[in-house]
Amino acid sequence: DNYWGARIAIDMFNERGGVDGRMIEAVEADVPDPQAAQTEINRLIQNEKLTVITGLYGSAIAEVAAGICNRNNVLYWEHVSVVDRLTEQGYDNVFRVHVSGSNYGLKAGAIAADFSDMIGIDLKDLRLGIISENGDFGQSLAKGIRQYAEENGIQVVVDELYDAKTTDTSPIVMKLKDADPDIVIATSYINDGIDITKKCKVLNYAPKVFLGVGSGYGAAAYPEALGADAEGQIDLDPTGAPVLENLSPEMAELTKEFQERFKAENGYDAPVVGYLAWQATWVLLNDVIAEVGDVDDVDALIEAARAVDIPEGTLPTGAGVKFDANGQNERCVIAAMQWQDGKLVTIYPESLAQADMICVPMPSWSERGK
């Protein structure tokens, strides 16, 4: 999904004339792990003579790529990875369009606080559960959630890491059931996110609000694996269901074309990751490379990136783009989305909402079955 978001953006950009009639050429590499990233990123720079690297999705992989790009004075433009360290190394040539992990966690904590108000619990009385996969992704998110809780006097009754590769998440779900938090924030990848939901049903555990964070709860594979049990589950992410009427006519037209092309290529609607990759790549092409008119002058590309000033609400996910001194986008927006009738719809904030929320507070599994 990350790949196709970027690929479609490049194709659309080229079809509109590229950079003064010159086409952007994408040189592709498969980097499934950090070792492959080291080999391939070096090959792309040394053999292919590339001056711009973009991708890469996984936090550990992105860190490797950013370090190599920094050593070789190559522009590195990250779509999705959230690990904090990516933009904390003092690299001048590294830019991340998506939110950082700890800031993502802070935003998730703020959304949980609003849900606390919706279910009639004062923050001072709220019991919060935090479970996170134990990689860089989960740990960065947990850090931000924990910080928000501490700053706002929220009682954390569970704060646990788990291995995303586990085939049985029963132990982590049992910890939640025993502690009985009012709201759970769970940071997961797809397989563990699905298994956590299954085990919640098996163990008959349903907190008042369950907020899933990341691809574990927002990907099309989630309802495909769970069927009706996905109904009402909430995902915290940039919105994967843009309201075209809220966008400029030009961006609405571009977004609609992207949606159609993604579905035609893959057979399903673009998920959040697809939108993140598409909009990040579009900004790279349209607001950085086209602005400079060349890809060989890396210093000019870096200067153009630092000058990008796109207001919040401009892009499909509701985000804008303005980088801080570390290359971190400051205008990221996180929404609450919910699975309703097999589709992920945005329910919060009101400015992005497409539908009213259901199952808040969450009914028991037996009640949901009715």
Rounded-to-integer distance, Cα 295 and Cα 50, Å: 9
The structure tokens 């860089």 sit at 136
Supply 265's token pair. Answer: 């290529």
pLDDT of residue 241: 83
1-27 burial string, b = 16+ CB within 10 Å, else e? bbbbbbbbbbebbbeeebbeeeebeee
Which pTM value belongs to this model? Answer: 0.86
Instruction: State residue 174's pLDDT score.
Output: 98
Q: Is the dihedral of CA 240, 301, 32, 35 positive or negative?
A: negative
Which pLDDT score is estimated for 220? 86
Q: Is-contact 84 109, C-beta < 8 A?
A: no
- Entry field: residues in the chain: 370
- Give residue 136's pLDDT: 85
In this prediction, residue 350 carries a pLDDT of: 86
Say what the pLDDT of residue 367 is.
85
Q: What is the pLDDT of residues 312-350, one digit of tens each?
A: 999 999 999 999 999 999 999 999 999 999 888 999 988
Give the 3-state secondary structure of residue 6: helix
Q: Provide CB contacts within 8 A for 162, sequence distance 6+.
A: 131, 132, 133, 134, 169, 171, 172, 192
Structure tokens given for 162: 């788990």
Q: Characterize the bridge pairing of strands 209-213 and 94-96.
A: unpaired
Classify residue 245 by its DSSP letter: G
> What is the rounded distance in angstroms from the CA atom of residue 329 to the CA atom of residue 311?
12
pLDDT for 216 equals 80
Report how far apart, in Å, the C-alpha atoms of 132 and of each of 210, 212, 214 are: 13, 10, 10
- Rg over alpha carbons for the chain, rounded to the nearest Å, is 20
Residues in a beta bridge with 19? 22
Specify the amino acid at residue 119. I
**Residue 40 token pair:** 């391939």
pLDDT by 10-residue block (mean), the chain, 370 residues: 96 97 95 95 97 90 95 96 92 96 95 96 97 92 96 97 95 98 96 97 97 87 93 92 91 98 95 94 98 95 98 95 97 94 91 90 85
Q: Reduce the DSSP state of residue 279 to 3 states and report it.
A: helix
> Closest by alpha carbon to 112, among 99, 100, 129, 98?
129
The pLDDT score that the predictor gives to residue 58 is 83
CA 42 to chain centre: 27
